[in-house]
Amino acid sequence: MLFACIKSEQLKLRHSHIWIAFVLIPIIPTAMGTQNYLNNLEMLKSEWFSLWTQETLFYSNFFFAPLIAICCGYLWRMENQNKNRHMLLTSPVPVKDIFIGKLTAIAKITVFTQLWIFMLFLISGKLVRLPGFPPAQTFIYVIRGILGGMSIAAIQLLLSMVIRSFATPIAIAIIGSITGLLAANSQYGIYYPYSLMMLGMNANKKEDMLAGSGIPFFANSLGYLILFSVLAVYLLRHRDANA
């Protein structure tokens, strides 16, 4: 039944136009970051690393969370209308499979977006005539960003399930992005879910922001992913089933 749920959510995304947003919107932070890099060449001397910090600063702080919130809202939109939620819960489908199916779809689109951002980074680097290719470390940042991003995705998927307004969870994601930026520049950023994407992507710093904090980062990212997923399944099973 789980595979049927996963396939259903994949088809829902495939037949929508939401993929256009995930292809076009990441171009904006890439362009902004590239322009910022070109405007500050006298200070940004680390070539590929400097370009990376500028592009991921905009993407991981201001674009990823609202973008993934839109996708989460879309996946719950049909279930949040009329009495579709009750019809779904009375069907012979385990509630955990319903949520995991949606989470798997979000994970797939998160991986796609991260790889697309890296491709845009490579293209923009060549357009500004940076020598060679990006350091391998930057791709490791992409992988870390996937894990940090999934903790945000789990929160937003839970919010879109609980809050039946499409716009409200997106507004929360925007607020989370702003507060995440503030928290990431403090000693508490490693414990704040909306900061984990920025820390994982190593945005805005040449030095590794997770130096000596790799284990807490992975533990907190996985912890938030599991915590919000378990909470969502619990609420779906008890609150919605009893409504």
pLDDT in tens, 222-231: 999 999 999 9
Q: What gap in Å lies between CA 198 and CA 215, rounded to an integer?
A: 16
pLDDT exceeds 90 at position 159: yes
Structural domain including 183 reads 2-240
Question: Domains in the chain: how many in total?
Answer: 1
Higher-scoring residue by pLDDT: 193, 4: 193
pLDDT at 84: 65
Joined tokens for residue 59:
């993407």
Joined tokens for residue 97:
């499979």
- The pTM (predicted TM-score) of the whole model is 0.90
In the structure, what pLDDT confidence band is assigned to residue 243 with cuts at 50, 70 and 90?
very low
pLDDT at 90: 66
Cβ 9 vs Cβ 75: under 8 Å? yes
Q: Where are the alpha helices (DSSP H) in the chain?
A: 2-14, 18-24, 27-39, 48-58, 64-80, 84-89, 95-127, 136-162, 167-184, 196-201, 214-235
Cβ 217 vs Cβ 190: under 8 Å? yes
Average pLDDT, the chain: 89
Q: Please name which of 108, 105, 126, 100 lies closest in space to residue 30, comparing C-alpha atoms.
A: 126
pLDDT exceeds 70 at position 125: yes
In the structure, what pLDDT confidence band is assigned to residue 179 with cuts at 50, 70 and 90?
very high
pLDDT in tens, 96-123: 888 999 999 999 999 999 999 999 999 9
